[in-house]
Chains A and B, each alone.
Chain A
Amino acid sequence: MAKVTNEDATFEKQTVAEVLPTDAGGSDVLVIGPTLSDKDQIAFDVLADSWETGRAPFVITATDTDAQFRDRFAPFVPAGHPAEELYVIDCTEQTPDSQSSCSVNSPVDLTGIAICLSKGYDQYGGGGRRILLDTISTLLIYSSMDRVYRFLSKLNSRASELGDSTVQLLDSDAIDTEDRNTLFQLFPTVIEVRDEADRTLFRVHGDSETSWYEFQRQQGDHR
């Protein structure tokens, strides 16, 4: 394993999979970090494992349209799996002519998201899949903390009933400590991300807390 040093500290370079506890495979993961950090890449690495562990991922996007999301995620898709295998629930208030696996008219329509998820399960079944939510921060613009909390709680339990698990993104810049701690209760595993100089650092909070590692892409850097 490569070591990286600077004047301040040394961080081991690791992929997320190497640092996540082995029992985190089927548990819900929250990835929290600054808006501009590379936390999306960490979540995408976790999401891409969905193919290894079972099935093509489901994606709930409140920030990118379906097409924009597929573009961003394409470099993370393992060889031999077309990005078309993704089931994308697009809640970005897109213009009507956009194409999407399932669309919801606004991020406020949590019922619409739930229905799209049910449709996905009707079509593809469950077991070993990861479901990405990008991002909790956008849902919080449109619905109260209480309602979003109940929705995520139900999302996680529904995924778990069907043998799946979620990976969800949250911006750390725009949430107060109380709300953050409330959301943490929903996730057995929390990956905390921060930027330092030109690198992305992360650590994992689960049953215990790991030290900080420098993030290394799982399948080599395709970008």
Chain B
Amino acid sequence: MRALLDYLGQQARTVTVYDYSGTAEQLAELEALLHGYGTHLETADTDGSGPADIAVLHQNGSVLDACAVDSLLARIDFERGFESASQPGSELLAELSGEVRVKPALTITEMVRLSRDFERQALREGAGELHAGFQQLSQIANSDRTVEMYTALAEAGVDASVYGAPDATLEDIPFTVVEDEQGELERHWFLLYDGDGNPDRKAALVSEECPTEDGSLVSTVADATDQTAGDYDSYFTTDPATVDELFELAGDEYELLRLRE
């Protein structure tokens, strides 16, 4: 999973705003908006001889797009959108659509929300393969909602496999349980769904729990719904090509994963 996280990390994009002259409040709003697109915001000051308030979208040193900051700021103001349909769109934001979202240190609540959202997509599709890592199987066994969801997925026709250390038994269930005997996946909460080929439904969440100072994993002792439980490095994406790449990488890295050929 480390390879998947590294790959996703490389997909991260940055918007640098040069010689910003607006308010700090608007900049914070813009940062939040870009964060939702999985894009990091930075500011930079130059010697002031060039144009000011320019936003540049870049990735690994390559410039992908650029625009005046005003057109981005117009996009944070949804109040005006409610009043008039003629507000201009930002082409730079259109460029960001569907890109990888980078969300460091997601809370457990956010990760549950994301997992539920992706599981719902799979359920609606009623087909395809879904692989979900829970770290420990007890995380599933102790949650009626999770058992119910994966049962519903399997019954709807989704080829669902769950992974975790065998610290609990799951019996009489219609989905596939893979026991992670060697602890290969003990730090990873993940969900990979291939959308059964439908690009609108492909989704992936990959995360790694950060050990505490004494090296232990909080998730192994705490209830999964406890929001104070461990911190995660986490990425998610709904970009079809990126999800495909993640399936490839996961297949190369783990024999454990029951990926279809």
Contacts and interface: CB of A to CB of B under 8 A. Distances in A.
A41 interface: no
A106 interface: yes
A137 interface: yes
B248 interface: no
A36 B121 contact: no
Interface residues of A, number: 47
Contacts of B33: 108, 143
Interface stretch (A50-58, A171-179, A198-206): A171-179
Contacts of B94: 105
Interface string B85-109: 1010100011011100100000001
Interface string A107-119: 0111111111111
Given A105-B97, A112-B81, A68 B124 contact: yes
B120 A155 contact: no
A63 B123 CA distance: 11
A94 B200 contact: yes
A95 B84 CA distance: 26
A111 B75 contact: yes
B85 to A, nearest CB: 4
Nearest to A155: B82
A144 interface: yes
A68 B121 CA distance: 11
Interface in B104-146: 109-110, 112-114, 116-117, 119-121, 123-124, 145
Contacts of B36: 106, 108, 142-143
A21 interface: no
A141 interface: yes
A34 interface: yes
Given A141-B114, A173-B116, A175-B109, A93 B97 contact: yes
Given A98-B200, A106-B37, A158 B82 contact: yes
A112 B81 CA distance: 7
B79 interface: yes
B82 A114 contact: yes
B83 A143 contact: no
B77 interface: yes
B149 A35 contact: yes
Contacts of B96: 105-106
Contact of A119 (B79, B83, B85, B97): B85
B120 A63 contact: yes
A17 interface: no
Interface in A8-52: 34-36
A64 interface: yes
11 contacts: A105-B93, A111-B76, A113-B78, A118-B82, A137-B113, A137-B117, A141-B117, A154-B78, A154-B79, A174-B109, A175-B109
Interface of A: 34-36, 63-65, 68, 72, 92-95, 98, 105-106, 108-119, 121-122, 137-138, 140-144, 147, 150-151, 154-155, 158, 171, 173-176
